[in-house]
Amino acid sequence: MNNTSQSETSLGIENRLSPLKLARLSLFQGCLGCLAVIFAGMLNRIMISELAFPAILVGGGLAFEQLMAPSRVLFGNISDSWPIRGRKRTPYIWLGSAGFCTMAVLSIPLIFITEKALRQGDWLPITACSIALCILFSLYGLAVSMATTPYLALVIDLTTEKERPRAIGVIWCMLTIGIVVGAIAISITTKGLDGVSDVALLEPALQKFMIWVSGIVLVISILACWGIEPNSPRLDSTSKGSNQQIGLKESWFLVTSSPQIMIFFTFLILYTLGLFLQDPILESYGAEVFNLPISKTTLLNAFWGGGTLFGLLLGGLWVTPRLGKLSTARVGCWMIAVSLFLLILSGLTGSVNGLYGVLVIFGVAAGLATNSALSLMLDLTLPEVAGTFVGVWGLAQALSRAMGKVFGGGLLDIGRSLSGQENAFMAFSFVFFLEIIVMVLAIGVLEKVNIKQFKEETSSKIETFMMAELD
């Protein structure tokens, strides 16, 4: 018995996620943040404002990335149950990274082929190009799901319950740093494109830029995870056995059998939708209401990201330990609602500095709410089926981000039809106002979350599955 305890202790020390390994592993999230700025920010703005794409086509196309979210549950379960060469997480992270980097490079020529079809006005090429664009973004989203779900499960594998909040805080800070660094880098490298709408100049410049970024991201993603994950046989035997005994069908039954899971699932959908409904139109808001060039609208993400980074640190180190996770999430959500109202006021005054300041406040609010929401998410995850639960929470967030991209672009088109094409401010304000309503609904659902009840419900289900296997 003593030998077993000593073995488990030494194994735990060997496999723990040291600060150096955590810092290296978090580089992967930084890469995702950089790509997020490109897809959700720069390309959005260029397609809508420079290439005159319909906003609903842009939002709908990018939404297909998130509509691959159900695959997160599948990839989580596969990584739990099917190691590749003794490792459950790293191979899937690398395969997914190669996939989304490839799709990123292919997106540029397809965007400009679609622009040519739209300019010519023939419905058949337009339809074919639109479908192709949706397929490409779907494959991009599938690759992201393949990489990110095992990645978060790997963090859970290598951390104790006490270490996990610190690890998640560092990882999400790096995601935000990636957004800020990506925004600044894009602003610098695209400064020569300010005021340029000629596709003959835009396409080669963007293609070269995307090839370089994708190559760098792929190399960093490989190096970030290299050698960190131990072989599966050396992982905790209880966790390993549980993962092998619970299949996808049983896992899905488990996560749908608890009312608390569905309540938190609903909260994540509403919260993420309330946070990202403006995501596909924010840079266009800066372009059309404040007359900002490409290099300046890209910096909007830097202000928002800087505020988010501060909010994450403030929440993790000071606010959440004092107020508690639920109270901090509630405060953060209310701050987001107020920030959206201030975003409307900044457009009314036309102050660019006011816009920057509001985005910093918005970012701080998002950081506070995200830190507490992630902590709640970890409390509502069972180590025995970590990959599956991470997949479910990722599904909720991805579905709502997909809806945010579709509804953000679609609502902007509706707002323009209601207020007239010349009144851009009213069209954008229409979207922000509805976003405030969604966030208030999220706060209402948050009041029903009960962590103790979740653990009691799901633990009893796990025991039921284990007993069934023994019988």
* pTM as predicted: 0.67
User: Is there a domain that residue 197 lies in?
Assistant: yes
Residue 2 resides in a domain: no
Token pair 């599904």 in the structure block, residue = 395
In a domain, 14, yes or no: no
Residues 6+ apart with CB under 8 A from 243: 80, 81, 384, 385, 387
pLDDT tens string, the chain, 471 residues long: the values are: 333 333 333 334 445 667 788 888 888 988 888 888 787 667 777 887 778 787 777 777 777 777 777 777 778 778 877 878 778 788 899 999 999 999 999 988 998 888 888 888 778 888 898 889 889 888 998 998 889 888 888 887 787 766 666 677 778 788 878 877 887 877 777 777 666 667 777 888 888 888 998 999 899 999 988 888 776 544 443 344 444 445 556 656 666 677 888 888 889 889 989 988 887 788 889 988 998 887 788 778 778 878 888 888 888 778 887 888 889 999 999 999 999 999 999 999 989 999 999 999 999 999 889 888 877 877 777 666 666 676 677 777 777 777 777 788 788 888 888 887 678 899 999 999 999 999 999 999 999 988 777 777 666 665 555 454 444
How many C-beta atoms lie closer than 10 Å to residue 164's C-beta?
A: 20
28 lies in some domain:
yes
CA distance 217 to 251: 33
Secondary structure tally for the chain: helices H, strands E: 21, 0
What per-residue string of b and e applies to 90-114 under the rule 16 or more CB within 10 Å gives b?
Answer: bbbbbebbbbbbebbebbbebbbbb
Query: Structural domain tally of the chain?
Result: 1
Q: Is residue 9 part of a domain?
A: no
Contacts of 447 (CB under 8 A, 6+ apart): 330
Q: Within a domain: residue 95?
A: yes
Tell me, yes or no, whether 8 lies in a domain.
no
**Structural domain of 82:** 19-470
**CATH code for the domain of 167:** 1.20.1250.20
Alpha carbon of 208 to those of 104, 202, 449: distances in Å?
A: 12, 10, 47
Which residue, chain included where needed, has tokens 């509502």?
380
